Amino acid sequence: MKKLWLAAILLPGFFAWKTATKNNIERYSKNPSNDGWITLFNGKDLNKWHSYGKSNVAGAWKIENGAIHLDAKSKKEGEGGDLVTNDEFDNFDLKLEWKISPKGNSGIIFFIHEDTAHYHQTYSTGAEMQVVDNEGHPDGHIMKHKAGDLYDLIASSKEAQKPVGEWNAVEIKSLNGKLDLYLNGVNVVSTTMWDDNWKQLIDNSKFKTWPGWGTYKKGKISLQDHGDDVWYRNIKIRKL
């Protein structure tokens, strides 16, 4: 009777634990981090990237000390070009870190429509969060061209970049047109894409006469080759 009594108490708890464990295993097997984040760069390879308009990664992009490095000095003809994700994204939360060389320039470009028959560069369609040495590069002295700016559209609410050579943390969030750019924890740009105000921003920018620019609501993400040494690391994305 005592054994039956113990079984009546313990068995329900055992089955509840078993069910919970099974659910946790299934959840973690589908998403090891259990938070929705997808690693775009693991510090070891560029399997989730290619050079714009190509099937491979150009030789100027190298992996050094767990970071992606555009080695501008060693770049030969045909070995450069912007790095692009293999996958497209619409609603997303992107996080990464960048470090720029003295007098360097680069950028993080998103919503890229990779159709090389019509668009020859990533920036032909995609909007850009500026990466630049504000002190040493000429663009760093131009309104809407500074680090963290939504390039040529919206200036950062605050200059939040760290000194050249130091790592800067970026977050880009896009949800149903609502776009927020963060630099080192500061929400430097907040706007809405694809509405009348967005069209007005484009009309007041260098992109006014560029067909298709800023119109795509799903696209690839790029790390720009602007001809200067730049480093990127800890790149991950979460679909919203």
Q: Render pLDDT for 145-188 as a digit per residue (tens, 0 to 9).
A: 999 999 999 999 999 999 999 999 999 999 999 999 999 999 99
pLDDT tens digit sequence for 32-75: 455 899 999 999 999 999 999 999 999 999 999 999 999 998 77
Domain assignments of the chain as residue spans, ordered by start: 1-30, 35-239
Vertex 211, ends 210 and 215: CA angle to 5°?
Answer: 105
pLDDT confidence tier of residue 29, bands split at 50, 70 and 90? very low
pLDDT of 126 strictly over 80: yes
Protein fold of 35-239: Jelly Rolls (2.60.120)
Rounded CA separation 6/14 (Å):
12
pLDDT of 24 strictly over 60: no
Residue in this structure with the two tokens 């630049």, named with its chain if needed = 132
What is the chain written as a DSSP string?
Answer: -HHHHHHHHHHHHHHHHHHHHHHHHHHHHH-TTSS-EEES--SS--TTEEETTSSS--TTEEEETTEEEE-GGG--TTS---EEESS-BSSEEEEEEEEE-TT-EEEEEEEE---TTT--SGGGT-EEEEEE-TTTSGGGGSTT-STTSBTTTB--SS--PPPTTS-EEEEEEEETTEEEEEETTEEEEEEESSSHHHHHHHHTSTTTT-TTTTT-SSBEEEE---SS-EEEEEEEEEE-
